[in-house]
Structure 1
Amino acid sequence: MRSSILLGAVLPFAQAIRIIQSNDDGWAEANARTFFDALDSAGHDVVLSAPAENQSGTGSSDATPTQVGSSGCEFSSCPGGSPPTGANATDPRLNYVNSYPVTSIKNGIDVTGPKLWNGAKPELAVSGPNVGSNVGPGGLFSGTIGAATYAAHTAKIPAIAFSGRTGDPAAWNQPTPKYSKVYADLALNLTTTLIDSGAPYLPDDVFLNVNFGEVSDSTCHDASQFKFIFTRVNTGLLSARDTEWCGATRLPWEVDVIYLRGGCYVTVSAGDASDKSTTDAARQKVVLDKLKPLISCL
């Protein structure tokens, strides 16, 4: 078993890069902010550009941002009547966009990030960790995946969508839930491994769909207990064979691993950013070779 590396154990990074982050649960949600802090502590130049409010289930919708309504941003994180886009008063790296996840990450890639990076674009895009799993057919409707696939397919930036099975939407200014910390450690571990594999981080038009299993007080309560499993987005019953791994040419289905196995698992699927399905075997192999230090067999 290859156990995952805890946050403190991966510092310092071999290299620090520019990372744009978004989600669909909103810019003030605890999972996203905890991962932001982990990336920042690891030395990366990270900018968050996420919806002003919870936009779960909005897929790849995109619309011009509008003025914030009278109730303000989620968790009272901005007042009613705020501008269509805005930043935290003390940290300009934390940004809201009053629209969909795709619109939010697009604004981060084209406007906010370059403004803070002296005109440079992000080198990697991350979305999430989402509150709740995004596996199988449900991923088609996920705003978290929508943001990642926009980055990979349209903006041509390597992208990862992270989702966690445990938890409910929580505010950034409340005590950080245990699962948020575990998911941030796991997400940082995978991000580290991918970056350390060298650029280009992913093949063209490929994104990673990553799902974390349940976190509980009795089991799966520490990042070191989780195993990373290389999976596929859809079942593959009528698809061409996958890349060879663990003695087979058919990868496990991410739905089976997350919902039926019942263990401390993280699924990593190489997805086609053009249609959110499983990518082909050749590009799977490229991804697998990059992540082999992290990946285990079931």
Structure 2
Amino acid sequence: MRFSIFIACAFLFASPTAQARNIVLTNDDGLTSNVVALYRALRHAGHDVVVSVPCTNQSGMSAAISIARPLTPLDRPCLNDAAQAGDPATGMMTRDDLPAGDFHHVDGTPVMALLYGLDVAGMERWGGQPDLVLSGPNEGQNVGAMIMASGTVSNAQLAAVRGIPAMALSAGTNSRGDDLANPLSARIAARVLELIDALEDNAGGGPLLPQGLALNVNFPDTLEGAQWRLTRVGTYMAYRIEFTENMAESASPAMRAMAEARGAQVPPLPGLSFDINRNAPEPGQENDEGVVFRNGIAVSPMQAGYAAASSSAAFVAWQLDDLFAEGE
């Protein structure tokens, strides 16, 4: 409740000015129109920004990492020619229309890209951790149970566990742009700056968010008239995701249409089926981010990591009192 009041008050007393912050900007999609637009907006507002993103799209990788396996030079170009085959697996992007020294690629998972931004690029720039980690804006919303698979959200979680204020930012798939110039990206970036300014107004020069708190922020496909809404990571499933033994039998109309457009059929192979959940929310789910994001900008507080609330810990202590006593 205290965190919810904090976020609500931030929007009530927002000001147009903001303190310059050191920011690591990351994602799970690679070099995209959204990340370039947000970088430009942040720099224009006076923030110092280090971008560190995966070489290729890594959506759905959650918090995956490659342990004790050295990264070798690239065997193919990164997304949108951020780097070329033969370039180092990590380092500054070589695309010549990007600001020198600010954009970095990592041939790895989203969490690995963030760690590079924190432990290498950011440390070289600032000699310490940043004031804020922004993950996204993702090319597709991350709501409800979907966040368990999201690299966008996992990056924000990792930063929060490290004690760094963090936000996961997700927009619609209509924000994609192979030319890095989707006009919707700049509009999303402007709304992100609104959020940062609102939090800054109450920060008093200190951290933008309380210790142990991160935000999951989801923008609707259509931004016209979209209002900020304090929501929660709830139980409403905005998407239907199921494992099926036969993709052809369970394919959604959208999936079938895409296959037909390619002159193909959905193969009878096992895999995940994916479709929009068209069921209305159950009572108590009306304020879930999976419902709200379709019309408003959903801002959902998230705890850092998996630690339970003190009330839950007290319940477990009561339930297992005899067991714990035996170990004393």
TM-score under structure 2 length normalisation:
0.69
SS at match of 2:293: helix
1:40 to 17, 39, 43: 43
SS at match of 1:267: strand
CA contact (8 A) 2:83 2:105 kept: no
Q: Which residue of 1 aligns with 2:25?
A: 21
1:113 to 117, 122, 144: 122
Measure, in 1, the Cα distance between the counterparts of 2:51 and 2:180.
20
Structure 1 residues 226 and 23, CA gap change in structure 2 (3 angstroms): same
Q: CA deviation at 1:256?
A: 1.1
Structure 1 residues 62 and 41, CA gap change in structure 2 (3 angstroms): same
Between the two proteins, the alignment pairs up a number of residues equal to: 245
Q: CA deviation at 1:10?
A: 7.0
CA contact (8 A) 1:31 1:180 kept: yes
Q: Which residue of 2 aligns with 1:284?
A: none
- C-alpha offsets along residues 29-88 of structure 1, whole Å, 9 cap, x if unaligned? 110110011001000011111111111110011225623442211122211121121113
Q: Which residue of 2 aligns with 1:141?
A: 149
Work out the percentage of aligned pairs sharing the same amino acid: 34
CA contact (8 A) 1:149 1:276 kept: no
Measure, in 1, the Cα distance between the counterparts of 2:44 and 2:229.
26
Q: Structure 1, unaligned stretches of length 5 or more? A: 237-248, 282-298
- Structure label with greater radius of gyration: 2
> Could you say which structure has the higher helix fraction?
2
Structure 1 residues 17 and 180, CA gap change in structure 2 (3 angstroms): same
CA contact (8 A) 1:58 1:141 kept: yes
CA contact (8 A) 2:175 2:184 kept: no
Q: Structure 2, unaligned stretches of length 5 or more? A: 1-7, 237-283, 312-328
Q: CA deviation at 1:276?
A: 10
Q: CA deviation at 1:163?
A: 0.1
Equivalent residues in 2 for 1:142-157 (5 A)? 142-153=150-161, 155-157=162-164
Equivalent residues in 2 for 1:269-288 (5 A)? 269-275=300-306
Runs of at least 4 residues off by over 6 Å:
none
Measure, in 2, the Cα distance between the counterparts of 1:147 and 1:257.
23
Structure 1 residues 93 and 255, CA gap change in structure 2 (3 angstroms): same
Structure 1 residues 175 and 29, CA gap change in structure 2 (3 angstroms): closer
CA contact (8 A) 1:166 1:213 kept: no
Q: Which residue of 1 aligns with 2:219?
A: 212
Matching of residue 132 in structure 1 with residue 140 in structure 2: yes
Q: CA deviation at 1:175?
A: 5.9
Q: CA deviation at 1:168?
A: 5.6
